[in-house]
Homo-oligomer: A and B are copies of this chain.
Amino acid sequence: MQGAQHSVRTSARTNRGRPRPLPSADRADERIAALARACRPGWSLPGQFYSEEAIYRADLEHVWRSGWLFAGHTCEIPKPGDYFTLEVGADPVIVIRGEDGAIRGLHNVCRHRGSLICTEPAGHSKRLVCPYHQWTYGLDGRLLACRGMPEGLDKSHFPLKQAHVRDVDGLIYLSLADVPPDFQSAHEMISSFASPQGFPKAKVAKAVDYLVKANWKLIWENNRECYHCNVNHPQYIKANFDHYNADDTPPHIQEQITAALLRTEQKRGSGSVTATHKRSGMTIFPDLEKNIWYSANRTPLVDGYVTESMDGKQVAPLMGGYKTAHIDTLRIRTLPNFWNHSSCDHGVSTRLLPVGPQLTSVRVWWLVNAGALEGRDYELSKLQPFWQLTSEQDWEICERQQRGINSSAYAPGPYSTYKEYNVASFVRWYLQSLTSPKNI
């Protein structure tokens, strides 16, 4: 095997070695596109979209391997060599901080014979060494050594495949696409909200993993409305206003909202409420027409609540640059896999990862100021319940919905124009993504 000739052939063959598009794959795409076109706007999707293997595979290609995914927090990997791993569908990825301090995303797949390289959920390493034959990569993914291979082998042809990564004020985003969609406007928008929260100087007080027996879209549809909150989320509705909507907000509630906005303005200072949600009902998100798959805003809490805890009382020291507890809740969400509710004293991040047509892995993190000490500055028993309960209530809802949708008797139903406008928008965004040319 000649080295020079070898390397030329390598790049040519990398494509040839991959599964080639098969005629049947094209037919599957056409079939799915036809199903998507037949969907009725403002109604829930036909059952296949929530259950069928072929559509799940299309979701992986057109959504999950095309867009920007939330991966985790920079504070989880503070030092060079710190890493964590995740799986997007069947794609294992390493998120690692390099010698240069930059965070990178590397496919956790050795270029030799495909073994996983990092097998732990998180760790620290000076080099990435494949446990099979010790091919050794730098923290930037470059192949440094592959003892035993012919000398002519050009190591520059075998780096770990890279994912695109962005650090948005402590939130790590990842794209598996060859050419990812624009991130600049999302970056600026999220950053302007996340910056005062101080995520880079936070620490993970707790993280819980869930395996939810529901399609990932059902979890989003659940997230995009508070029509279900009154009965299902007794804790959440005590703290928040957004279960009220255009059709059922009594005047005294709107007055309470206005009063809450005023309180915050007085405590936090003038001009601070610019991007605060001022009315009942959820903010508009997503927005297909404006290509908005990300958003952030502040939302007032009810009187007596300075944080999303069971009794509304502060449960940890102030985070980031906050001087007062009265800052409303910060909310960030990005499609297809992230939302965050942050109060003055703690932040809660939720990340979805697809596992199968009817299975989604969800991680929920509770973050506090890095200097806070458990037992002294905060108790998990006070920090966790609000979002643990609310999250678990939602997973149960989604699993029940999945079971009903699997019925041959299921048929799409209409979304409420008052309360489920964001669900309709989500479905529109999804169908557009599904039928767009993929980035991979």
Contact = CB atoms under 8 A, between A and B. Distances in A.
A413 B132 contact: no
A404 B132 CA distance: 12
Contacts of A48: 19
A404 B110 CA distance: 8
Interface in A219-239: 221, 227-228, 230-232
A16 interface: yes
Interface in A134-182: 134, 148-150, 153, 158, 161, 176
Interface stretch (A38-46, A67-75, A260-268, A293-301): A38-46
Contacts of A411: 14, 17-18, 111
A221 B112 CA distance: 13
B418 A119 contact: no
B43 A115 contact: no
Contact of A131 (B19, B22, B397): B397
Interface residues of A, number: 81
A109 B414 contact: no
Nearest to A108: B404
B148 A414 contact: no
Given A16-B40, A18-B411, A404 B116 contact: yes
A148 B248 contact: yes
Contacts of A390: none
A403 B116 contact: yes
A92 interface: yes
Nearest to A46: B17
Contacts of A65: 408
B31 A22 contact: yes
Contacts of A117: 404
A133 interface: yes
A18 B46 contact: yes
A272 interface: no
Contact of A38 (B20, B35, B408): B20
A114 interface: yes
A221 to B, nearest CB: 7
Contacts of A107: 407, 409
Contact of A92 (B60, B92, B161, B403): B403
Given A1-B42, A91-B408, A92-B407, 4 more contacts: A17-B411, A113-B401, A114-B405, A148-B416
- 10 nearest A-B residue pairs (beta carbon): A107-B409, A114-B405, A17-B412, A90-B406, A115-B401, A109-B404, A116-B404, A114-B404, A116-B400, A112-B413
